[in-house]
Amino acid sequence: TDSFDFSRYHTISEIYSFQDMLVAENPNLVSKIVIGSSYEGRPLNVLKFSTGGTNRPAIWIDTGIHSREWVTQASGTWFAKKIVTDYGRDPALTAILNKMDIFLEIVTNPDGFAYTHSSNRMWRKTRKPNPGSSCAGVDPNRNWDSGFGGPGASSNPCSETYRGPRAHSESEVKSIVDFVKSHGNFKAFISIHSYSQMLLYPFGYTKTPAKDQAELHNLAQRAITDLASLYGTRYRYGSIINTIYQASGGTIDWTYEQGIKYSYTFELRDTGRYGFILPANQIIPTAQETWLALMAIMNHTYNNPY
């Protein structure tokens, strides 16, 4: 994986090969868990970074849940290499991995991602047909059983924010739900999107503040300060409903309600006017700056066990 070109966008098969190569190169640190399969039968691969122990407190990071947000899958690939490179070299990451596990799902919506390469670069949702409608796909960030079906999600299958027929109806979502529940010891859950440059915490479906709102807010502020220290990329931060808009059935509302305190959603850059079509030469700077914010959150999680 040393010759993998992180500064360009890759196809799903290239990313899947990268994952297998990374595991083969780092058998004592990285393993691959298939937590389920997508609607079209693609494996849902999760890389597990662990230095041993059983069921250690863990951190989850996912990228690519909205398939057209290419800089997120690309950053996820870079994060994977960063972890194996820095373990044993960076004291903070080494300390975290000596006590905690990190799980990274790079292509969280593989059918959608493949579809952005093959047919429609602007595809966002999953690809499962919706009976009775000519429009396919569910918004995987409106399909979680937390305020499901409330305002800020659509009941129209043709909408980009279609919530789905019922909560957890999409295998891409249900697989994560089942995995998180069966693991039972996640302490942080980070879901990564693009391109509004924000760091968000629960809730999206209700104005009721999260119990840990003050701590989450302060940690978010520290994280985005670290992020901005590299290239000056400015982020907004706050609860989803107060910072962007009401959105029900969202990922981190569900994870927070499962008791995973450090639940965050990133919206990565575009600092210019490219939106989802971020030039490939911005992949590595985006990943580098985001990593600083991720480390802030992971460090805090490690230093504040609960």
Partner 1 sequence: KVTFEGHQVLRILPKDEAQLSLIKNLEEMIEFQVDIWMGVTDVSNPVDVRVPFQSLQFVKIYLEAQNIDYTIMIEDLQVVLDEEQEEMEAAARLAQPRN
Enumerate the active-site residues: 267
Q: Tell me the closest approach of the beta carbon of residue 61 to partner 1, in angstroms.
A: 23
Among 3, 28, 134, 182, binds partner 1 (CB under 8 A): 3
Is 9 or 103 the residue whose CB approaches partner 1 more closely? 9
Binding mask 172-211 for partner 1 (x = CB under 8 A): -----------------------xx---------------
- CA neighbor of 112 nearest in space, from 168, 160, 67, 76: 67
Is 52 or 275 the residue whose CB approaches partner 1 more closely? 275
Is 240 or 297 the residue whose CB approaches partner 1 more closely? 240
Q: Tell me the closest approach of the beta carbon of residue 14 to partner 1, in angstroms.
A: 8
Among 5, 95, 135, 229, binds partner 1 (CB under 8 A): 5
Q: Amino acid letter at 258?
A: Q
Tokens of 140: 């995987």
Q: Which residues between 266 and 305 bind partner 1 (CB under 8 A)?
A: 273-277, 280
Q: Which residues between 141 and 160 bind partner 1 (CB under 8 A)?
A: 158, 160
The sign one gets for the Cα dihedral 150, 152, 155, 160 is negative
Q: Tell me the closest approach of the beta carbon of residue 45 to partner 1, in angstroms.
A: 20
Q: Tell me the closest approach of the beta carbon of residue 119 to partner 1, in angstroms.
A: 5
Is 98 or 243 the residue whose CB approaches partner 1 more closely? 243
121 touches partner 1 (CB under 8 A) = yes
Distance from C-alpha of 117 to C-alpha of 111, rounded to nearest angstrom: 10
Is 188 or 241 the residue whose CB approaches partner 1 more closely? 241
Q: Which residues between 22 and 81 bind partner 1 (CB under 8 A)?
A: none
Among 28, 54, 55, 119, binds partner 1 (CB under 8 A): 119
Among 24, 122, 135, 214, binds partner 1 (CB under 8 A): 122
Q: Tell me the closest approach of the beta carbon of residue 51 to partner 1, in angstroms.
A: 30
Binding mask 230-269 for partner 1 (x = CB under 8 A): -------------xxx------------------------
Q: Tell me the closest approach of the beta carbon of residue 136 to partner 1, in angstroms.
A: 13
Is 120 or 229 the residue whose CB approaches partner 1 more closely? 120
- CA neighbor of 36 nearest in space, from 140, 155, 154: 140
Helix 283-303 / helix 70-86 crossing angle, nearest 10 deg? 60
Give the binding site for partner 1 (CB under 8 A). 3, 5, 8-9, 118-122, 158, 160, 195-196, 243-245, 273-277, 280
